[in-house]
Structure formats: C-alpha cells, structure tokens
Amino acid sequence: MKSKKEKAFILTGIIFLAVGLLVNIRVILGIIRTLTSDEPESIGIIGGADSPTAIFISESIFKNMSILEKAGLLLIIAAPILIITGIVKCLRTKQHHAGGR
C-alpha cells in the first residue's frame, strides 16, 4: 500500500513534467521543426564534449529563452527525479510490509 508521501512524490513529478512541457511548447515545437526541416539550420560541431563547445552550444540555446522557459526546463529535469524517487519509495515500503509478515 502506497503511503501519502510516496504518492506525493509521484504526483509532484507528473505535475512538474506537465507544467514544464506546457511552458516550453514553443521550444519543443522549434526543435521538432529543426529536426524535420529539409535543410539544416546550423553547422555541425566536431568534438561536442569539450568545454568551450559545450559553453557555446548552451549559450546559443539559452540566449533567446525567457526566464519562464528556463524555469520550465528545470521542472522537466526535476520531474523524472521526483517520479523515480516516489516509485522507489513505494517499492521499498511494499517490500518492507511484505517482509514483516
């Protein structure tokens, strides 16, 4: 049986994910448009794992985003963490109750 605390983690994660997606609908549609366009809109960068390239890419992505869109991305990142934490807590609680019988 799930306790209220575990359900709260899962529900909060789902809400964060939904709000983050709604806030960033413009960004998501832009990414889809870029991926499905006939011609590339940018050049490829070789060695994308090094620090200067990562800084350049992140700066170019976040430069035109509003603070609300940045907060939405943070919610999207936090959502899976909360959902997984809630699921793990539910499983551990269930395992604890099954072992006690």
User: Looking at 6-10, 50-54, 88-92, 97-101, which range is the least confident one?
Assistant: 97-101
The token pair that represents 96 in the structure block: 């604890």
Interacting residues of 73 by C-beta distance below 8 A, sequence separation 6+: 20, 24, 27, 65
Mean pLDDT, range 89-93, rounded to an integer: 80
* Sole residue written with tokens 């939904």: 18
Q: Which residue has the higher pLDDT, 2 or 97?
A: 97
Per-residue pLDDT at 101: 52
The token pair that represents 58 in the structure block: 């992140």
pLDDT digits (tens, 9 = 90+) for 20-74: 888 778 777 777 776 777 765 565 555 556 677 667 767 777 777 788 888 888 8
Q: Which residue has the higher pLDDT, 48 or 12?
A: 12
Residue 19 has pLDDT above 60, yes or no: yes
Per-residue pLDDT at 8: 84
Cβ–Cβ < 8 Å for 75, 23: yes
Residue 1 has pLDDT above 50, yes or no: no
| Cα end-to-end span (Å), the chain | 14
